[in-house]
Amino acid sequence: MITDPIGDFIVRLKNATAVRKASVAVPFSKLKLAVALALRKSGYLGEVSEEGSGIHKTLVVELLYDAEGLPRINGVKRISKPGRRLYAKAREVFPVKYGKGLMVLSTPQGIVTDREARQNRLGGETLFKIW
């Protein structure tokens, strides 16, 4: 049983890019789908699709690399963990890596990036940073 599904998801993405995989499959959940779509919109992931049905449903995520073969995902850091939830107010959401990275938050409006949170003045649980 996975106690931290978001942590597992982002580490699978990081490890798959480290060995230059084209795609990665993870157990499906609505939260993982929302996170994957936010990362796709920000240019970190390619196509996101669902396969299977019922309890055997998986989320297949295409990984992106640049022209030189370097992965778009260079690092990830889980912020809010199951044992210690961390929240940020709207004024506490700052750019990651001088704007080169991204922070993903869970807000009352759903899963959003740090840019969207600042634009819409939203606060929420800071899930992780990616760069």
The CATH number covering residue 34 comes to 3.30.1490.10
Quote the pLDDT of residue 99: 86
Task: Report the predicted TM-score, pTM, of the whole model to 2 decimal places.
Answer: 0.92
What is the total count of domains within the chain?
1
CA dihedral for 127, 111, 95, 39, sign (positive or negative): positive
- For 91, the domain range is 5-130
The list of the chain residues with pLDDT below 70 reads: none
Joined together, the tokens standing for residue 77 give: 């850091």
How many residues appear in the chain?
131
